[in-house]
Amino acid sequence: MSDLPDYVLTNREHWDKWAHAWVESGERNWTGPVSWGMWGIPEEELHLLPNDMTGMRTIELGCGTGYVSAWMIRRGADAVGIDNSEQQLATARRLADEHGVQLELIHGNAETVPFPDESFDFAISEYGAAIWADPYVWIPEAHRLLRPGGRLVFLGNHPFVMLTQDWSADDPATLQLMNPYFGMHRIDWDDGDDRGTEFNLPISDWMRLFDDVGFDVVAYHELQAPHRGSEVRFFATADWSNDYPSEQVWNLRKR
């Protein structure tokens, strides 16, 4: 009997099942330039990674195929990635080998990471723990793992998306408020074919959590699609994402 929370087990099943669909994008991102989220916003616009990460010990929380860690290693970091899915880690391991890169990979839950306090200088999650783990558990855990002054950067979908999507269908965000904003936390979705659990919070709750845990906000970005169009990327059209923020990035510093 596992002592993992029910949603971690549900999400593990989801990611083990779908890991094959992320191999190609993982391969592309391992060699591509640093760019963020579903609209590929260039790093030059967001400045989420220090240019020189020499001597920095980093952890990627929900590393998937590991390309964000690869970008940090290229900048000089000594990187660890943790992920809940063995299948995703299999791709990350293969790509690290093919690229001759030293990347320590751990199978586990980013809410309870097997490292001592203050082991890392920099923690990051792009759509990993950022959306699939409970913020009231993983944000304090990231704080514990960081040294004072250490940074936590994470990117995921914007709360607006959660408000305007029907969680029982695989449809993009709409122009209707379909779910309550206040009280937003755990979202169990089931589109008939597949199910998973994601998390998000009202912006004021995110900020209260950061302050309670001991993080200062360095920057907050609401990402906008760089073009218009009816093309759907994952959970929103380009038109929608050009008018409203489909993704958010929090850049935090441990006090």
Ligand X SMILES: C[S@@+](CC[C@H](N)C(=O)[O-])C[C@H]1O[C@@H](n2cnc3c(N)ncnc32)[C@H](O)[C@@H]1O
Using CB under 6 A, list all residues that contact ligand X: 8, 11, 15, 22, 26, 62-65, 68, 82-85, 88, 109-111, 126-129, 132-133
Q: Containing H/E element for 254?
A: strand 247-254
Helices 86-98 and 67-74 pack at an angle, to 10 degrees, of: 30
Q: Of the two residues 188 and 211, which places its CB atom closer to ligand X in the complex?
A: 188
Q: Of the two residues 62 and 172, which places its CB atom closer to ligand X in the complex?
A: 62
- In the complex, the smallest distance separating the C-beta of residue 137 from ligand X, rounded to whole angstroms, is 9
> Which residues have a Cβ under 8 Å from the Cβ of 21 and sit 6 or more positions away?
none
The DSSP 8-state label assigned to residue 137 in this structure reads H
- In the complex, the smallest distance separating the C-beta of residue 11 from ligand X, rounded to whole angstroms, is 5
Q: Of the two residues 64 and 159, which places its CB atom closer to ligand X in the complex?
A: 64
Token representation of residue 11? 């999400």
Rounded CA-CA distance 164/186 in Å is 15
Which residues are 218's β-sheet partners? none
Q: Of the two residues 25 and 168, which places its CB atom closer to ligand X in the complex?
A: 25
- In the complex, the smallest distance separating the C-beta of residue 131 from ligand X, rounded to whole angstroms, is 8
- In the complex, the smallest distance separating the C-beta of residue 130 from ligand X, rounded to whole angstroms, is 8
Rounded CA-CA distance 19/130 in Å is 18
- In the complex, the smallest distance separating the C-beta of residue 64 from ligand X, rounded to whole angstroms, is 3
Q: Of the two residues 54 and 193, which places its CB atom closer to ligand X in the complex?
A: 193
Closest residue to ligand X in the complex (CB): 64
Rounded CA-CA distance 235/170 in Å is 8
